Amino acid sequence: QGLSFGASWAQSRLDHVLRPAPWVGLAIAIAAGAIPLSQGDGFLTHYHAYLEIPNRDPVHLSTTLLFDVGVYLVVVGIAATLLRVFSEEEGQ
């Protein structure tokens, strides 16, 4: 849509989502590492759980997945911010 309507249109629609993404991702990654500390284990010790869904296979959840989602948000948020900054015209 950014190609169709222009960068300023896309930026105005996505800025409120992408700007906090690195901070939210960092908070999620730190929380995933700190959860084991509250249980008396070491930082980034992995915990596993299964979510039982009726008529489906159980979904495997872990703090590793939570950490990876946090890192993903940090990387995507920073990359999107850098693309936005580099795409701005000089003088803005």
- What is the number of other CB atoms lying within 10 angstroms of the CB of residue 90? 4
Residue 1 has pLDDT above 70, yes or no: no
Residue 29 has pLDDT above 80, yes or no: yes
d(CA 25, CA 84): 19
Identify the pLDDT of residue 92: 55
- Listed in sequence order, the residues at least 6 apart from 45 whose beta carbon sits closer than 8 Å to its beta carbon are 36, 39, 63
CA-nearest of 7, 26, 19, 2 to 82 is: 19
Collect contacts of 45-52 with beta carbons under 8 A, ≥24 apart.
none
pTM over 0.95: no
- What is the number of other CB atoms lying within 10 angstroms of the CB of residue 20? 13
